[in-house]
Amino acid sequence: MKTVLLIFGTRPEGIKLASLINKLKQRDDLRTITCITSQHKRLLHQVVEYFKIPIDYNLDVMIENQTLDYITQMTIAKLERIFDDVHPDLTVVQGDATSSLVGAISSFYHKVPVAHIEAGLRTNDKNYPFPEEINRRLITQIANFHFAPTKKSVENLLSEHIPKEQIFLVGNTTIDAQLSTLKYLSEKEDFYNSMFKNINFEKKILLVTCHRRENFGKPFEEICNTLMHLAKKFNDIEIVFPVHLNPNIRKVAFSLLKSSKIHLLEPLDYPALLFLMKKSYLILTDSGGLQEEAPTLGKPVLVLREKTERVESVELGISKVVGTKRENIINWTEKLLLEQESYEQMAKVCFPYGDGTASDKIYNKILELLL
């Protein structure tokens, strides 16, 4: 019997792999093994619990304030035993996290083919995002099969001389997870309204998330000071900020963001975050996943990064890269709060990242490759 090994370690990876894993696990003629690194322990386990993802191995590498060196070192050492135990015929990794890179490297060392989901995203600047841009470029060099989410991603891979027969345009699996969860939320509206009863949804909700390493330090401090300015200036807004567990984010956020209009929340499970996205007027984020999900809900996004690899929504005019400078964030936020025409131009429902069938396409291709 052929064996497929899926390696992942962060919350976004769990969300994006959940549907595929559960489909593969249902087959009796294919052995499907899941290995989590727990690079993001608590956040990942929220996703595992919600999507009911069966886990076979947990490397449990996370420690407080971990470094990239530590994650890489510990993960690759522990994966050696997994490959010796499992002897997979195919390894699947997703996206650009350190767990994905190390999973691909370890698979290569054990001469196992690698399938890369969400392949081909590029900013073409190795420092933005850091370290994800280099992670995904390296995974591309290792991978045998590249599941690209958009035509632009396919073009990027072809420009890097990846053989076209190894590239498959499938869409982004995050839309699969989003659409299934929106159906779940439609039955749970009262529950989530009561969960967030301290938030006044009659006002314009600015949903904020921030966690990227390149924003640690002064960039994030400037973002926080900007949020305080907006809270003081506008009476008809409330800012909702689920705060990442990383101490580089938490310490600064809880120190600088002190306003009755700013709600600092503990990290939310996926349905709760999606509920807040539905309720939001505007999203300010450095997250890749939220950039992908917001267009499905018709929510404008201001991207708190210098560059983004999710260029499709920028080109459609439904998201805007504003960076982390105070003046730029304020100008664009005020424009969307005060100019209805500008807001309506960005608040368009569309599906630049997929139609909800990506997991099915990847599933069928994996069966074709292995069975």
pLDDT per residue as tens, the chain (371 positions): 999 999 999 999 999 999 999 999 999 999 999 999 987 778 889 999 999 999 999 998 877 778 889 889 999 999 999 999 999 999 999 999 999 999 999 999 999 999 999 999 999 999 999 999 999 999 999 999 999 999 999 999 999 999 999 999 999 999 999 999 999 999 998 999 999 999 999 999 999 999 998 999 999 999 999 999 999 999 999 999 999 988 999 999 999 999 999 999 999 999 999 999 999 999 999 999 999 999 999 999 999 999 999 999 999 999 999 999 999 999 999 999 999 999 999 999 999 999 999 999 999 999 999 99
User: pLDDT tens across 215-253, in order?
Assistant: 999 999 999 999 999 999 999 999 999 999 889 999 999
User: pLDDT tens across 303-351, in order?
Assistant: 999 999 999 999 999 999 999 999 999 999 999 999 999 999 999 999 9
**Could you tell me if 269 and 292 are in contact, meaning their C-beta atoms sit under 8 angstroms apart?**
no
First CA to last CA distance, the chain: 9
| Known catalytic residue at 211 | yes
Bond into 129 cis (ω within 30): yes
| Known catalytic residue at 221 | no
**Could you tell me if 310 and 292 are in contact, meaning their C-beta atoms sit under 8 angstroms apart?**
yes
Task: Give the active site residue among 13, 118, 286, 306.
Answer: 118
- CA dist 136 and 110 (Å) reads 20
* Domains in the chain: ranges and CATH: 3-172+354-370 (3.40.50.2000), 187-346 (3.40.50.2000)
Task: Give the active site residue among 11, 122, 244, 263.
Answer: 244
Bond into 131 cis (ω within 30): yes
Q: Minimal CA–CA distance to 11: which of 44, 36, 42?
A: 44
| Known catalytic residue at 96 | yes
Written as one letter, the residue type at 124 is: N
| Known catalytic residue at 89 | no
